[in-house]
Structure 1
């Protein structure tokens, strides 16, 4: 997969995880970015890459790493050492703790 294809895929995944273009636009506006749904669509479909100024905010909102959103800018957004971001490793640790806790509860699982 080329850099441009991976950037487009990561950008689409980030917007999807946020809840779609409209929701992403609303959340971006709440974070101080003047980005309409139409402008977001244009960047997704025509330019096929995330604007640099949105990368940190989209990473925070969606969990998709900045190095995935813009791998063409390794000086600005370097890949994390060890292959995973700190947030993702922390999430994996919490998930495994949750699974262990669920096993301990057995059928007495509280929802």
Structure 2
């Protein structure tokens, strides 16, 4: 299970509500949740917005650091 997507769904209330906010179908959200599909880079900003910024782009697609850089840790 994709814990980041699960957290996002919990914040919004349901897969259906999350899907409506992001602009995809509920079955698509189910696929994201169960790692059948990845969130497309085009939909990442919508996921961030749906969660009020509580989930960041790099958390949704950590495999794309060139598009969604991880925050720099200050030593």
TM-score range for the pair, normalised by the shorter chain length: 0.7 to 0.9
Shift of 1:42: 1.9
Q: Which of the two has greater helix per residue?
A: 1
Structure 1: state its 5+ residue gaps.
Answer: 84-111
Contact 1:11 1:49 in 2 (8 A): no
Distance in 1 (CA, whole Å) between partners of 2:15 and 2:33 is 9
Please, what is the CA RMSD of the aligned residues? Answer: 2.0
TM-score (normalised: structure 1): 0.55
Larger C-alpha radius of gyration, 1 or 2? 1
Equivalent pairs counted in the alignment come to 72
Structure 2: state its 5+ residue gaps.
Answer: none
Contact 2:5 2:60 in 1 (8 A): yes
